[in-house]
Copies of this chain bind each other. A is one copy, B any other.
Amino acid sequence: MGEKRPLIFISNDDGYQAKGINELIKYIGDMGELVVMAPNRSRSGKSSAITANHPVRYGLVEQSDNVKIYWCDGTPVDCVKLAKTTVLERKPDLLIAGINHGDNAGINAIYSGTIGAVMEGCLNGIPSIGYSVDNHSADAEFGHCSDAIRRIAQKVLDKGLPDGVCLNVNFPAEGELKGIKVCRQSSGVWENEWVKQTHPRGYDYYWLTGEFVEKEPDNKESDRWAFRNGYAAVTPITVDFTAYDMIDKIKSWNL
């Protein structure tokens, strides 16, 4: 008997029925043994939220020789944590979250449940990658990303990732990729975020929408520039939020 095939754990924030996660399973199905645990409904924008105040459940959706798919009624991070305790018989060799419907580049990474799952894998010592496509539609196209998805996943399986570092990969909405570009997280801000509407009973409520304003649209080192210009944008991100270059500065404040 040869060595075991890689164990690849998969999750997302769009839910196990989303097209993106099911395309991902097709693209990488021959790269290892797959275990999927993903939310049973959309959990977009859940960041690294955990479910602290009520219990969480999971169940089997379907299984074949090579793929087991589970639903979970918690957040993406709950999926990673619960799978570790319940359905994973060993530590995965790789975690992949996505393919997300909609980009998670720039500060969108902060809000993303997909990136939450990636960071949770990373915190548990699993080499972890998030894949996202710049198209929010339920029927977004993913085929143009398949080669790069396999290539990046195989490279991470071969090389690993350092402790505390994971990858946030963002693809253009369509078209042949110009290449794979290693980037940094771009900055920006959401504006005009709320639309007020009035309930028939007379009270106001607010829907979160908004427009993303890039602070550095022409910066070719940024992840947003890369995917807007036809590249797969690979941004290494860290779960260590420390602003190291500020430590000495704040020490000089003599608090």
Contact = CB atoms under 8 A, between A and B. Distances in A.
A55 B197 contact: yes
Contact of A85 (B193, B197, B253): B193
Interface stretch (A2-10, A93-101, A234-242): A234-242
Interface stretch (A16-24, A25-33, A61-69, A104-112): A104-112
A237 B247 contact: no
A52 B110 CA distance: 14
A56 B206 contact: yes
A86 to B, nearest CB: 8
A247 B183 CA distance: 7
Interface in A40-63: 42, 44-53, 55-58
Interface string A228-251: 000000111111111110110011
Contact of A55 (B48, B187, B190, B206): B206
Interface in A143-185: 148, 151-152, 155, 159, 162-165, 167-168, 180, 182-185
A194 B253 contact: no
A147 to B, nearest CB: 11
A57 B203 contact: yes
Contacts of A164: 187, 243
A242 B241 CA distance: 9
A127 interface: no
Contacts of A193: 81, 84-85
A1 interface: no
Nearest to A59: B203
Contacts of A113: 49
A226 interface: no
A81 to B, nearest CB: 5
Contacts of A159: 253
A239 to B, nearest CB: 6
B205 A234 contact: no
Interface of A: 42, 44-53, 55-58, 75, 77-78, 81-82, 84-86, 107, 109-111, 113, 116, 119, 123-125, 148, 151-152, 155, 159, 162-165, 167-168, 180, 182-185, 187, 189-190, 193-194, 197, 203-208, 234-244, 246-247, 250-251, 253, 255
Given A47-B77, A86-B194, A238-B243, 11 more contacts: A45-B49, A45-B50, A55-B197, A55-B205, A55-B206, A125-B189, A155-B255, A182-B251, A185-B240, A185-B242, A236-B242
